[in-house]
Amino acid sequence: MSRTIRVGSRESKLAVIQSEMVIDAIRAYDSSIDIQLVTMKTTGDKILDRTLDKVGGKGLFVKELDRALLAGEVDLTVHSMKDLPAQLDERLPLIAVSSRETPYDVLVLPEGCTAWDTTKPVGCASARRAVQIKKLYPDIAVKPVRGNLQTRLRKLDNGEYGALILAQAGLHRLGLEERIHHIFTPEEILPSACQGILAVQATKGFDIDILTKFHDADAWDCAMAERAFIRALDGGCSSPVASFAQLVDMNTIKLTGLYVTEDRMHSSVKTMICPRTDSAAYAAELALRMKNEG
């Protein structure tokens, strides 16, 4: 008798594409497994008239998926890892992460435009992006933008914004890379923690072997260091902190962290090199040191 796995996902086109990447990996492991995709609209998808920090933060993108997991309505859930809150429900551990897609932020212009109209606001979905783009371009107006990627692009193309800042990974997965006008380096805009990585959650005891062909140990170690930095600062959706880890070699990680004071008047960026095996502890120590230094 074949086994059935129900995969929970947000219902956006990008979320479905990302969940199908997990499904394909499970099928590559065992083609006899029957896999069902279960999509749902999260609270974060429903509330679009306010920024996330006003309505509860990143947890709004996982609340319904977590509830479905705990209720036994799905067997695992798939997320963009950057959308996961810093603190997770310990009953729902992370069981696998994908290899990292390109992690950078990009500038996107209205369709057909080749020059950035800086008289219109630039649309940002996070405080992290807003703080950094204002440092690069102090005279640019920044305006919040909500909705899935296609909704944001539609608002841009309708003339509401002069440009958007988006994740390159999402555009790539949707086949929309031709919309990219400029790719920001980490020195210009430090990416969100875990940007470009997909995460899979399940209840304790789930058979993780079926994700053998999906899980990436390098991305896992970088993600754990990045999340440790954010968690040490109580970083959430309303917080502009950021962290970005890269493997220097098989035993060493380079981590860059962004700390912004509560009043957002001052910011600092620091980089450290540390052993891969203890990178999460080193990342948390760096975060606290930066906070103490102000």
pLDDT tens readout for residues 115-167: 999 999 999 988 899 999 999 999 999 999 988 899 999 999 999 999 999 99
> Is the pTM higher than 0.75?
yes
The H-or-E segment that residue 8 falls in is: strand 4-10
- Write down the residue that tokens 């790539």 correspond to: 172
Would residue 83 show up in a list of annotated catalytic residues for this protein? yes
C-alpha span between 14 and 170 (Å, rounded): 7
Q: Which two tokens stand for residue 42?
A: 């999260």
Render pLDDT for 230-266 as a digit per residue (tens, 0 to 9): 999 986 545 689 999 999 999 999 999 999 987 788 8
Q: Which two tokens stand for residue 131?
A: 């703080």
Residue in 45, 66, 75, 83 annotated catalytic: 83
Query: Amino acid letter at 60?
Result: L
- 174, 149 Cβ separation under 8 angstroms: yes
